[in-house]
Amino acid sequence: MRIHHNWHPDNLPVQDYSMDRAVIDWMQEYMEPCLDIVEFGSGTGTPRLTSAGHKVVSIEHDPKWLQEESILVPVENGWYSHDHLQIILQKNCDLIIVDGTPTKGSRDLIFEWYKLPEVESWFQKAVVIIDDTDSDNNGKPVLEKFVALGWKIIFNDNPRWTVIQWG
């Protein structure tokens, strides 16, 4: 597997609620380079992904976090608008990152969208990284629901995030 030598995550800004740098390290070691990524929640981790050579589409509801790669999507009933998310279902996706949430404790509302057949099949073609799986209010309930639906944990050595895959 090709390793990117022209960047280093330590050279990019990070905040306490940003995606863990270890996620990108894991991606470099275990996934192919130049992935097509859909990220729910834009932030300081987004440029680290693009600097690593990945193609990122970031779904964001707050204009202050918009990046060049972001799509501004309004919130409806606690989650990103289903109608506005239809555009990403047309995109190839190797990796989905569930990092952001429009409102605290609402990240599990992703399943209201996920239960649509076209969304479920789109998800099942990708590897999914769920951030904040150490949080009872955010990532942990999302992980538990995915596992209950038949998703398999393929990496969870870091308590802050977990990698899952269908089947």
Mapped onto helix, strand or coil, the DSSP state of residue 124 is helix
Amino acid at residue number 17: Y
Percent helix, strand, coil in the chain (nearest 5)? 35, 25, 45
In this prediction, residues 1-14 reach a mean pLDDT of 37
Give the residue extent of every domain in the chain.
Answer: 31-166
**20 Cβ contact partners less than 8 Å away, ≥ 6 residues apart:** 131, 158, 160, 161
The span from the CA of 145 to the CA of 142, in Å, is: 5
What's the pLDDT score for residue 103?
65
Which residue carries 């990796």 as its tokens? 95
In this prediction the pTM is: 0.86
Identify the band that residue 38 occupies on the pLDDT scale cut at 50, 70 and 90: very high
Which percentage of the chain shows pLDDT scores above 90?
Answer: 44
**38 Cβ contact partners less than 8 Å away, ≥ 6 residues apart:** 56, 57, 58, 59, 88, 91, 93, 95, 96, 97, 126
pLDDT at residue 136 is higher than 80: yes
User: Which CATH class for the 31-166 domain?
Assistant: alpha beta
Per-chain mean pLDDT for the chain: 84
